[in-house]
Amino acid sequence: MSVQQDVRPSLQTEGLSKAFGGVQAVNGASVTFHDGKVNALIGPNGSGKSTFFNIVTGMIAPDSGRVSFRGRDITRRAPHRICAAGIGRSFQLCRTFPRMTVLENLLVAVRPTGWGQLVGSSMNRAQVARARELLRRVGIDHLEDSLAQDISYGQQKLLELAGVLMGDPDTILLDEPAGGVNPALIGRIGTLVQELNAEGRTFIIVEHNMDMVMSLSDHIVVFDRGAPIAEGTPSEVQQDPRVLEAYLGV
């Protein structure tokens, strides 16, 4: 339709495959995610979603296939190079430094060269100010002196999102942002996604919370057995018989 004519590709894969032993985790996946939109990648457990994310972000190498970002081939690039290209990501299980404070966790994200630089007099004041502003934005600025291990799991999810934003990516991949999070913080995460998307950031979200997916997403890709079986708007996906079969066996 006319709206689709204005859609630009952001992240694309062609024939992407990855096997672990005899298990085909991703199987010839050719997918296009839309630039400037909230995209979702959904599917049953074990359908290859997190493996797909790991390939795209350089955490593991594909057996075959190609990954491109805004028309540039990023297949098999190192994770830090993919991050520098403009892609940030969170993980299904939060990756924070538990014995560092909330503020220190954000500063490490931009000064990864050692503890001495982190606490030394050469600390860049602009980075500290940016970190504090991002903590305020995600709603945990009052916790900046708390150890990451002492805050709730939902607050750790917000901290991880703030850490992603420290890199100023234009495309953000979120792996189960609502997993293990209470409803109030799920709402906060959803609001942040909407606000950041309105400011021009593209999102690709892996999530099992269908209420969150259907309320946030512009475009949904459905995986089953390592490959896409359907895509479209939330209403189109909800009515697709292939999706109903994959999820419900009907």
Which domains, and CATH codes, for the chain? 2-86+169-248 (3.40.50.300), 97-166 (no CATH)
pLDDT in the model for residue 228 = 94
Low-confidence stretches of the chain (pLDDT beneath 70): 1-6, 110-123, 248-250
Residue found by looking up tokens 């074990």 in the block? 46
The whole-chain average pLDDT of the chain stands at 88
**What are the C-alpha distances in Å from 206 to residues 72, 127, 180?**
23, 30, 14
pLDDT in the model for residue 155 = 93
pLDDT in the model for residue 249 = 54
If 0-12 CB within 10 Å is exposed, 13-18 middle and 19+ buried, where does residue 178 land? buried
Three-state secondary structure call for residue 228? strand
pLDDT in the model for residue 248 = 55
pLDDT in the model for residue 3 = 41
pLDDT in the model for residue 86 = 94
The model's pTM: 0.89
pLDDT in the model for residue 132 = 95
